[in-house]
Amino acid sequence: MVEVAIAEPGELAAAQLEAAESLVRAAFGPSFRSHDWLHALDGVHVVLTAGDALLAFGAVVPRTLRHNGRALDTGYVEAVAVRADQQGSGLGAVVMDHAENVIRARHEVGALNAVESATGFYARRGWTPWTGHTQAAGPAGVIDTYADADRIYLLCPQPLDPGAALVCDWRPGDLW
């Protein structure tokens, strides 16, 4: 039987985090870098297990996105992954059901940067692609973030204005 745990930041033991990192790295493949895992650490963790086995994982990390003069309290989804032999059996949807509950309860909007092969997974859940300009607020001011690989998806109660930039906060590694 699959069990779902919602772990607050810092609650998972080191061994649980190691198991999660291994699962996520295996699911994403070699393009997954150290910073990508660090980006998932400070969040609320959704952990699916069966007995001692970790089956699926995801994180909702607090970030601030700025848009049209507003600072949006954002639940940023990172490191969503299902163990390879369990994919396609509904576990990814369970991870996202819980991640979205966290976003709706604690944040104004949800955001994530989808890998190309997973865009359909998020789109069918009601996440919408951001078609406007993206920027990041860095130590030296606001910079444009033109990355072909970025596919930003949003979960918003009200649509944002694609005519105004969406500005993320700064972090090491990939900004989005």
- Taking the complex as a whole, the smallest distance from the CB of residue 168 to ligand COA amounts, in Å, to 16
| Nearer residue to ligand COA within complex by CB, 50 or 143 | 50
- Taking the complex as a whole, the smallest distance from the CB of residue 113 to ligand COA amounts, in Å, to 7
Do 42 and 9 touch, CB atoms closer than 8 A?
Answer: yes
- Taking the complex as a whole, the smallest distance from the CB of residue 145 to ligand COA amounts, in Å, to 17
- Taking the complex as a whole, the smallest distance from the CB of residue 19 to ligand COA amounts, in Å, to 15
Q: What is the DSSP letter of 90?
A: S
Given the rule CB under 6 A, which residues bind ligand COA?
27-28, 80-82, 87-93, 114-115, 117-118, 120-121, 124
CA distances to 17, 36, 67, 167 from 135, rounded to whole Å, are 31, 19, 10, 4
Distance CA 127, CA 143 (A): 25
| Nearer residue to ligand COA within complex by CB, 137 or 150 | 150
| Nearer residue to ligand COA within complex by CB, 76 or 136 | 76
- Taking the complex as a whole, the smallest distance from the CB of residue 60 to ligand COA amounts, in Å, to 13
Q: What is the dihedral of CA 83, 85, 31, 141, to 10 degrees?
A: -40
| Nearest residue (beta carbon) to ligand COA | 92
| Nearer residue to ligand COA within complex by CB, 60 or 91 | 91
- Taking the complex as a whole, the smallest distance from the CB of residue 150 to ligand COA amounts, in Å, to 11
Which tokens go with 125?
A: 């859940």
Q: Are strands 109-113 and 70-82 parallel, antiparallel or unpaired?
A: parallel
| Nearer residue to ligand COA within complex by CB, 38 or 164 | 38
What is the phi/psi pair of residue 128, to 5°? -115, 140
Which tokens go with 21?
A: 């990192």
CA distances to 66, 106, 121, 163 from 43, rounded to whole Å, are 20, 12, 21, 30
Which tokens go with 41?
A: 């650490």
| Nearer residue to ligand COA within complex by CB, 7 or 115 | 115
